[in-house]
Amino acid sequence: GAVVSQHPSRVICKSGTSVKIECRSLDFQATTMFWYRQFPKQSLMLMATSNEGSKATYEQGVEKDKFLINHASLTLSTLTVTSAHPEDSSFYICSARGRGLGNTIYFGEGSWLTVV
């Protein structure tokens, strides 16, 4: 099946710094990518939807200036958490839909962000 890879799987950063998480579709062209955030023992909350070559659509309550999403190519989307604070510590998961793969959505392995 199609593979979506996230990097890094775990990252620790200092409060006030920025951190970038990458989401790559390894064997298909991802026309749409989705970013989710999951706090411990909670469900996945959709943050934003990004289509290749266009600006991301953010869900209500998600600060677009804080969570910068770039989907510059059909195989890569990045989420940059700017000026990170401890409350941004969370599990971030991306998923992707691919050209020619119907409506199936493929998930990455997730990235643990800890802000200290």
Partner 1 sequence: TQLLEQSPQFLSIQEGENLTVYCNSSSVFSSLQWYRQEPGEGPVLLVTVVTGGEVKKLKRLTFQFGDARKDSSLHITAAQPGDTGLYLCAGVVWDSGYALNFGKGTSLLVTP
Positions touching partner 1 (CB under 8 A) are 6, 32, 34, 36, 41-46, 49, 51, 57, 60, 91, 93, 95, 97, 103-105, 107-110, 112
CA-based nearest residue to 51, from 66, 82, 30? 30
Q: How far is the CB of 88 from partner 1 (least distance, A)?
A: 18
Task: Count CB atoms within 10 A of the CB of residue 39.
Answer: 12
Q: How far is the CB of 32 from partner 1 (least distance, A)?
A: 5
Q: How far is the CB of 21 from partner 1 (least distance, A)?
A: 13
Task: Count CB atoms within 10 A of the CB of residue 18.
Answer: 12
- Return the amino acid letter for 97: R
